[in-house]
Amino acid sequence: MSVERASRPKGLVRNYLLNAAGAGLPVVVTLFVLPIYISKIGADRYGMLSLIWVLVGYVGFLDFGLSRASANALSRLASAGPDERVPVLLSSFYLNLALGVAGAVIIYVAGHVVLLHSELVGAQFKSEIIEALPWVALMLPLNMLAGVGTGALESRERFLESNIFSTVNGVLGQVLPLCGALIFGPALSVLVLATFLSRTFTAFCVLSYVHYTERPISFRTYGKSHAKALLGYGAWVSVTSVISPLLDTADQLIIGKLLGPSAVAHYSVPMNMATRSQILAFALAKTVFPRLSNLADVDAKALASRATVTLSYGFALVCVPAILLSRPFLSLWLGEEFARFSAPIAPFLIFGAWINGVAFIPFTFLQSRGRPDLTAKVHIYEIVPFLVSVWLFSEWLGLVGAALAWTLRVTIDFLALLAVGKIDRSIWCKLTPSTSIMVASCLTTMFVGDSNTSAVLFALLFGAVLAGSALAWDKQFRALLLARVPVVRSG
């Protein structure tokens, strides 16, 4: 098939930068406002607010993956007219509305049970939470409907608009509650209401813009066949959404059981550092998802293969220096005593985060081809072996063992996704240079020791070798820099 001119690297680079910026800016704002929040409302009240967001986030799996399902279905209809796109869009809208209302009821009831009838909430916060719970519950259907709108925008690769809305939502959702606390006081009801108002505003903007771009829209349009297909796809996405938090947190729970709370802190800090860097990989996966959904199978595999290899180099350019500089950074940031326990495991966790980040592309490829069942089954098969390996490795090797178990799990996950997706077999050879440099950087940390000078010199050396290898061996990397060669050639 012929590939649209939009398939050029210049378009991918632009979309990728937009997605990375859209995801990164709210994180920067968080770093800025977090100390102000804690100083103005107190650590205890901020902890209660965090618990509320955890509750909303976890019950969010009730959307049955419909946002992802609608984005996939609409991406396949990127060039179609309203008569084909609108039935899919409205089917997803009505399903999300129904499930969102059901989820809101669950949040309201569960909130009373979990937050009010447990030791998680102090007596001084119970009245505030009672006032805040209705707004907390209403935020779920609001978020789900906004997710449908965002999926519609991304299906046409309107990443500029979608990232403007998501950035406004992320920034306004942090700044407006803080302003409310400064003006009306730090009560949880004030904070949550301000957050609800900010999300109402951005959801209204997203849905209004989608209504404008997808017009004409008849709200009587609804297709049972579309609803069935969306639910079938989304149900498997939900399985992954439920299992992923278990795989992400089980190691820390086991560490707490076997090694104690302090060990969890020494493990979670470098783990959070490593996983936060995956924002770069997530942005690329988000960028290529609609294009992978819209291409023929052969072209989609070609794009997935190239994106995987290029991401392996690009993400390694971040991870290689992070591995070699992890010890001096932790020592400077948290002190020598903390770094004495965390620094030995940081290289393993960063290496695992690199593999896991590169795996976002084959994961996205499978979901784009309408096979979320395969990604869910891979995760299901990983649960028991991972839990057993974390327990045994932690008993044998302590925190290093836990880090090795996690890294082993994400490595097997990556290999399984590549195999199941049947992506170009030559990809194994193409990944060898970046993988070898990553392994070499991990081994080098064993010899650098506490020498900050040596760590910096090796970081520069390995970074230069990696960049040279990318330019020499990866045509797509050069193409992305030059923005001249098509990502997927006409076939």
Which CA distances in Å does 227 have to 1, 220, 374?
29, 14, 21
Instruction: Output the CA angle 165-169-173, nearest 5 degrees.
Output: 170
Phi, psi of 429 (to 5 degrees): -70, -40
411-446 pLDDT tens trace: 999 999 999 988 877 888 889 999 999 999 999 988
pLDDT of residue 337: 85
Selected residue with higher pLDDT from 30 and 357? 357
The mean pLDDT of the chain is 82
Reply yes or no on whether the pLDDT at 3 is more than 70. Answer: no
Selected residue with higher pLDDT from 57 and 349? 349
309-326 pLDDT tens trace: 989 998 999 999 999 999
State how far Cα 224 lies from the chain centre. Answer: 31
Quick one: which of 361, 275, 271 has its CA closest to 310?
361
Average pLDDT estimate for 190-214: 89
Exposure string (b/e) for 103-139, b if CB count within 10 Å is 16 or more?
A: bbeebeebbeeebeeeeebeeebeebbeebbbbbbbb
pLDDT of residue 406: 95
Quick one: which of 442, 403, 469 has its CA closest to 321?
442
Cis check for the bond before 87: say yes or no (omega within 30 of 0). Answer: no
How far is Cα 150 from Cα 205, in angstroms, rounded to an integer?
A: 11
Average pLDDT estimate for 116-137: 73
pLDDT of residue 380: 92
pLDDT of residue 4: 39
349-406 pLDDT tens trace: 999 999 999 999 999 999 999 899 999 999 999 999 999 999 999 999 999 999 999 9
Reply yes or no on whether the pLDDT at 340 is more than 60. Answer: yes
What are the residue ranges spanned by the domains of the chain? Answer: 5-222, 237-481
pLDDT of residue 442: 92
* Tokens standing for residue 225: 């066949």
Selected residue with higher pLDDT from 378 and 286? 378
pLDDT of residue 154: 83
pLDDT of residue 351: 96
CA dihedral angle for residue 450, residue 453, residue 455, residue 458, rounded to 10 degrees: -150
pLDDT of residue 347: 94
pLDDT of residue 114: 66
